[in-house]
Each structure stands twice: as structure tokens, then as C-alpha cells.
Amino acid sequence: CSPEDGGGFPRGELRRYGNIELSPSSGVLNYAQGLFEGMKAYRRPEQAGGYSLFRPEENARRMQHGADRMCMPAPSVEQFVDAVKQTVLANRRWVPPQGKGALYLRPLLMGSGPILGLAPAPEYTFLIYAAPVGNYFKEGLAPINLVVDDEFHRAMPGGTGGVKTIANYAPVLRAQMDAKSKGFTDVLYLDSVHKRYLEEVSSCNVFVVKGGVVATPATRGTILPGITRKSVVELAMDRGYKVEERLVSIDDLIDADEVFCTGTAVVVAPVSTVTYRGKRHEFRTGPDTLAQELYTTLTSIQMGLAEDTKGWTVAV
């Protein structure tokens, strides 16, 4: 699409997966003018047939919000969801069997036109590619081990941490590799000003549970407002938990009974240990945890095994 031609994305086309042509001076390659989304299509039970998407309008709206921050035009919600549905249908045979995973979908929006000086690109491309993925946890929920990093930060106030722009993932690479080489699953980031408040993990949000209270860092522009996070907040409240979206300090985490992460890839991941300044802190995991309950509830809704009383799924 070209904003100078009045904007709006013309109707797209389905193409076989392959390389795309991009100008060396495109906005995305030079100034990281790009956004993406991550979604999953699940195969529904045989008797229902078809596939199921989870809250795809939320992804569309998040992309629109991000596009505004990145000075890009974005597809309408309808256009976005329709393109996602078409991508699923065109890749039917790649959707794994029920319970064996999902078709991962990656919508991308980028400044594809050439721009030499720093400015928004003159042309934009919206595309979606798909790839089958297995369940993040092969059997049951395997708790993860996080390390808190107060050397590296992934976002700063006033920056782009609140939108899903490609550049947010660049600062993560080094920190994540270092953590993995030391045997940790991933990094838990603290805020870059006080180095005291939890932000998020490389690609998921974080929750702490203490008694009947569930707390998760408020989205203040430095963390991504996760769609799984939003859904889990609602499900926890339905179960009678008090849910607080606020500043959550590292001390709150150390004092918690339970810690878990949420995201499209993991759905809900229990955290068994968090290492902070060389000290390892342990948390409850296992069958009687809120993380387990939320994982079961959410995956059942996503796969069409439980009644979707909230209207979160969209059939394809």
C-alpha cells in the first residue's frame, strides 16, 4: 500500500512460501520500520470440523496501535482477520492433528518502499506466513527456569516496548543467548529506570501469585499488552482471585507462592525457579497450581474442547 495513493491495502494474493524482493533502502531494513504478530490456528475436534483462531481481532487491533506508533498504515480489522483465515485455509494440510500442536501464523507489516533519509517509507507491505508448530510442552507442563537480568534491558520509557515492533527483539538476542548458555530457559527483564520492577520475559508476560492475589506488571508502554495476559486476567478473576495490574517489584516476586508466564507460544508456563543476583528462588509448580488450571482452561477453549462462553474463538 502507498499512503500517497490514498492508503488502504489492496486485496492481496496467495503465494507459495518463498523469498520476497525488497529494496536495499527499504524502511524496514534501514530503520526497523516493521511490526509483527504471532497467532495460532488449532484443528477443532472432528465432530466440529474446521479450525479455530483465538481472538484474532485483538491481534489486528494491536497491529493498528503499533502502526500508529511506527508511522505506518495498517490493514483494517476485517482485512487482517480475513487474510489470516485465507492463510489458514490455504495451509489446511499443515495444521497438526488435535492436541499435537497448531499452525503458527506470522502477520508482518513493514515499510517496504525505499527511503534514504530517516523518514517513514513511501510504501508498505502486509504479509502473513505460516508454519506448523508442536506443543510448546510435549507432555504436561514443564516448569521453566528464569534468570533476572539487570544488565540488559529490552525497553525504556517512551520507547517502543509497548508495541510489537521487530526492533524490540534485537536487545533480547544477546541476553537470551547468555542465559541459555548458563542453563536458564529465558530472561526476566526489570525496568530500565529503577531496575526493580518486573517487565516481561523475551516473548511472554509474567504473573506472580500470593495467596488469593494475582499480580502482573501494568502495561505502561514498556511491555507488550499480551492477548494471553488479558485472557488470563479475566479467567483468574472468574475463579475468584483478586487480580492487580500494577508495579510488581522483584521483592514481590521473591515473596510469591507461584510465578508463571503467558504468551501465544507457551500459553501458560509455570516458573519453577528465578535466579536473581546469583540467588535461586523456588516456586510452586504442579497439579494444584493456578498456572496448571489456567493452562488447561485456556487450551481447551482454544482447541474447541470446552465451551467458549466468552466468544474468544473464531471458527475457520
Active site positions, annotated = 164
Instruction: Tell whether residue 191 is a contact of ligand PMP (CB under 6 A).
Output: no
Minimum CB–partner distance for residue 80 and ligand PMP (Å): 14
74 in contact with ligand PMP (CB under 6 A): no
Is the Cβ of residue 205 or residue 216 nearer to ligand PMP in the bound state? 205
Strands 267-276 and 144-149: parallel
- Report the nearest approach of ligand PMP to the CB of residue 53 (Å): 13
Report, in Å, the least distance between residue 178 CB and ligand PMP: 18
Determine the residue with CB nearest ligand PMP: 226
Amino acid at 139: E
Indicate the residue among 22 and 265 with the shorter CB distance to ligand PMP: 265
Residue of the chain from 249, 264, 272, 302 that contacts ligand PMP (CB under 6 A): 264
> Do residues 35 and 167 make contact, with C-beta atoms less than 8 angstroms apart?
no
Which of 110, 104, 67, 62 has its CA nearest to residue 87? 104
The β-bridge relationship of strands 102-111 and 34-36 is antiparallel
What phi and psi values does residue 313 have, to the nearest 5 degrees?
Answer: -95, 150
Rule CB under 6 A: say whether 64 interacts with ligand PMP.
Answer: no
- Is residue 310 within 8 Å of 238, Cβ to Cβ? no
* Secondary structure class of 94 (helix, strand, coil): helix
Work out whether 303 is an interface residue with ligand PMP (CB under 6 A).
no
Q: Quick check: 192 binds ligand PMP (CB under 6 A)?
A: no
Stretch that binds ligand PMP, among 25-33, 201-209, 242-250, 269-277 (CB under 6 A): 201-209
Residue 228 near ligand PMP by CB under 6 A: yes
For residues 94 and 96, give the distance between their C-alpha atoms in angstroms, rounded to a whole number: 6
- Is 205 a residue that touches ligand PMP (CB under 6 A)? yes
Using the CB atoms, write b or e for 238-271: b if 16+ within 10 Å.
Answer: eeebebeeeebbbebbeebebbbbbbbbbbbbbb
Q: Which of 229, 249, 291, 292 binds ligand PMP (CB under 6 A)?
A: 229
Check if the beta carbon of residue 238 is closer than 8 Å to that of residue 113. Answer: no
HSE value, Cβ hemisphere, 13 Å, CA-based, for 137 = 16
Q: How near is the Cβ of 103 to ligand PMP at its closest, in Å?
A: 15
- Which residues have a Cβ under 8 Å from the Cβ of 216 and sit 6 or more positions away? 205, 206, 207, 208, 229, 233, 243, 244, 245, 248
Q: Does 226 bind ligand PMP (CB under 6 A)?
A: yes
38 is a contact residue toward ligand PMP (CB under 6 A):
yes
270 binds ligand PMP (CB under 6 A): no
227 binds ligand PMP (CB under 6 A): yes
Cell of 138: 510435549
Residue 263 in the binding site for ligand PMP (CB under 6 A): yes
Interface with ligand PMP, residue 215, by CB under 6 A: no
Residues in touch with ligand PMP (CB under 6 A): 38, 200, 203-205, 224, 226-229, 262-264
